[in-house]
Amino acid sequence: MRSLIIISAMLAGYSLLPGKPVTNFIDPTGTYILVGDVKKNLVVSPSGEIRVQLLSNNRLAICFYMNKGYPGYQSGAFTDTLDYAENEARYTPRIDTNCTIVFTFSLRKVELMTLYKDPHCTCGFDPGVLTATTFTKTSGDKPIIQDLAIRRVQG
């Protein structure tokens, strides 16, 4: 009976050890899109794209693009390989090490969050470009990893 309880707890995603939930491995490979709100033919809120390819169980390739929207259409992008653990990847820009961009993957989305050492830093992006948000997975196919900075809109 006890082994049945242990197996049930593990299948439900819980560990019997305090503070250590069992994390189901998620293959993040695919394309994720953030669709901005459109008003009067202008994108007035953040939009973007993330492409991810799992390279090994603990490493992924990622290309990221995010645009602030109207009026300035400020944007930022990067392409890199990152460590991947517990369905999460973290990116610390070389030009602004006071912050880290955290990507938390689930089956159908990726949540974007930033951690700051200095509340005035912008992770090397224009002010207001990075916001905590959720990108929706639109494809699980292996994407082309390339510099998405060419998507920048001229305001």
pLDDT per residue as tens digits for the range 4-53: 444 444 444 444 445 556 579 999 999 999 999 999 999 999 999 999 99
Residue 47's nearest CA partner among 131, 104, 114, 110 is: 131
pLDDT per residue as tens digits for the range 40-95: 999 999 999 999 999 999 999 999 999 999 998 999 999 999 999 999 999 999 88
Q: Say if 8 falls within a structural domain.
A: no
Decide if 66 contacts 46 (C-beta within 8 A). yes
Is the model's pLDDT at 152 over the cut of 70? no
Q: Say if 19 falls within a structural domain.
A: no
Has this prediction a pTM greater than 0.85?
no
Q: Say if 6 falls within a structural domain.
A: no
Q: Say if 120 falls within a structural domain.
A: yes
Is the model's pLDDT at 154 over the cut of 50? no
Rounded CA-CA distance 131/121 in Å is: 13
Q: Say if 60 falls within a structural domain.
A: yes
Q: Say if 2 falls within a structural domain.
A: no
Instruction: Specify the DSSP class assigned to residue 29.
Output: -
Q: Domain of residue 91: give its range.
A: 25-151
Structural domains in the chain (count): 1
